[in-house]
């Protein structure tokens, strides 16, 4: 009898123990905005390229960007965020898993985001990425591997999109890597964007979510319409050297203009010692707290 009990205990342990590393991410997750709130919620200010390792091509592309393009070019109006921008937490997130009934291993994880009803499948079954000639999509093609209890996801086949919503581009050749870790009711997603077209070094950021079982994700919906009639084929943009708004951000916050232009050097703490001529406003008047969309001191 004792022998049988011991054997049963061993079997029970084997059945519930970590035979293979994996973590349960399934559930309803709400984004936290204590990091980079102004950029993520109301949206970035024009010509704010701070903390982005941009090359000159990206900088000029952003300088030339005109927000009228969204109003004039119909095809921009229902264009969703790419997978990388989606994970900045611009909407609520649902995660669910497919489990192999034989092995009980997770073979795929799915995500659904409020914004544009964006859905993504992260394959964990070892399948290869598609051919270079296959189509690219907004959410790209994602595969994941477990590193202990951390899930590392690699996404490629992304359509061209933006790193920041003020015209800073991210190319269709970028590779997007995520590291998902769960700490109780919190999910931390560390993201790395490598873009040989527009970045001089990887862009590393992190975003956090909290478990919100009562969350309800509604239907997004989007229908394009001509908002600002222009001749067919019009593409609004600023010619080089003519964008009148490039200094607004620097002037408002009393920042030297060079600081706002971004670049790899501006990512690191040592850069602060090189900044001269910083004259911050006497007191904060906008975007002072910004942990939700409704307390951002929007003018």
Partner 1 sequence: MKWPTIAVAAALLVPAIRAQPADIETLHVQGNVFALFGGGGNVTVQTGPEGVLLVDTGLADAAPKLMAAIRKLSPGAVRYVINTHVHADHTGGNAALVKMGATPEMPGPARVIAYLNVMDRMSTPAPGEPAVPAANWPNDTYSTPYKDLFFNGEAVFVTHIPNAHTDGDSIVFFRKSDVLAVGDLFMPDLYPFIDLAHGGSVNGLIAGLNKILEIAVPAKYQEGGTMIVPGHGRLCDEADVVEYRDMVTIVRDRVQDLIKQGKTLDQVKAAKPSRDYDTQYAAQGAFISADAFVESIYKSLKP
Q: Identify which of 174, 179, 183 has the alpha carbon closest to the alpha carbon of residue 206.
A: 179
**Is the dihedral angle over the CA atoms 83, 86, 88, 92 positive or is it negative?**
negative
Q: Contact between 68 and partner 1 (CB under 8 A)?
A: no
List the one residue from 3, 13, 15, 132 that touches partner 1 (CB under 8 A). Answer: 132
Site residues for partner 1, 76-95, by CB under 8 A, read 76, 78-80
Site residues for partner 1, 199-258, by CB under 8 A, read 222, 232-233, 235, 237, 239-240
List the one residue from 46, 47, 58, 106 that touches partner 1 (CB under 8 A). Answer: 58
By rule CB under 8 A, what count of residues binds partner 1? 41
- 197 vs 211 by CB, closer to partner 1: 197
Q: Contact between 128 and partner 1 (CB under 8 A)?
A: no
Q: Which stretch binds partner 1 (CB under 8 A): 14-22, 60-68, 100-108, 289-297?
A: 60-68
Q: Which stretch binds partner 1 (CB under 8 A): 52-60, 106-114, 243-251, 256-264?
A: 52-60
Q: Contact between 136 and partner 1 (CB under 8 A)?
A: yes
In the bound complex, what is the minimum distance in angstroms from residue 174's beta carbon to partner 1?
Answer: 11
Q: Contact between 165 and partner 1 (CB under 8 A)?
A: no
In the bound complex, what is the minimum distance in angstroms from residue 105's beta carbon to partner 1?
Answer: 30
Q: Contact between 47 and partner 1 (CB under 8 A)?
A: no
The CA distance from 227 to 116, in Å, is 19
What phi and psi values does residue 110 have, to the nearest 5 degrees?
-115, 145
Q: Contact between 57 and partner 1 (CB under 8 A)?
A: yes
In the bound complex, what is the minimum distance in angstroms from residue 216's beta carbon to partner 1?
Answer: 21
Q: Identify which of 102, 99, 141, 107 has the alpha carbon closest to the alpha carbon of residue 124.
A: 107
Residues forming the site for partner 1 (CB under 8 A): 55-61, 64, 69, 73, 75-76, 78-80, 116-118, 131-138, 159-160, 171-173, 196-198, 222, 232-233, 235, 237, 239-240
């Amino acid at each position: 009898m004792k022998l049988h009990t011991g054997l049963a205990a061993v079997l029970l342990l084997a059945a519930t123990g970590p035979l293979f590393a994996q973590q349960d991410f399934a559930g309803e997750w709400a984004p936290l905005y204590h990091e980079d709130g102004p950029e993520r919620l109301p949206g970035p200010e024009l010509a704010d390229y701070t903390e982005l390792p941009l090359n000159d091509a990206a900088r000029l592309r952003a300088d030339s960007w005109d927000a009228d393009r969204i109003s004039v070019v119909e095809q921009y109006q229902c264009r969703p965020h790419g997978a990388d921008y989606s994970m900045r937490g611009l909407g609520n997130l649902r995660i669910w898993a497919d489990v192999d009934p034989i092995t009980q291993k997770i073979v795929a994880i799915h995500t659904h985001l409020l914004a544009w009803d964006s859905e993504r499948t992260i394959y964990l079954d070892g399948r290869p990425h598609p051919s270079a000639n296959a189509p690219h999509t907004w959410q790209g093609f994602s595969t994941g591997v477990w590193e202990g209890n951390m899930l590392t996801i690699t996404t490629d086949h992304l359509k061209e999109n933006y790193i920041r919503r003020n015209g800073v581009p991210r190319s269709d050749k970028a590779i997007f890597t995520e590291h998902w870790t769960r700490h109780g009711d919190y999910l931390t997603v560390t993201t790395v964007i490598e873009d040989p077209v527009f970045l001089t070094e990887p862009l590393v950021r992190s975003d956090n979510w909290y478990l919100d079982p009562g969350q309800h994700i509604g239907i997004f919906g989007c229908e394009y319409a001509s908002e600002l009639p222009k001749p067919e084929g019009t593409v609004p943009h600023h010619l080089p050297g003519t964008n009148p708004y490039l200094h607004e951000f620097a002037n408002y916050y009393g920042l030297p203009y060079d600081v706002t232009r971004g670049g790899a050097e501006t990512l690191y703490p040592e850069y602060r010692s090189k900044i001269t001529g910083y004259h911050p406003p006497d007191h904060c008047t906008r975007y002072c707290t910004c942990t939700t969309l409704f307390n951002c001191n929007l003018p």
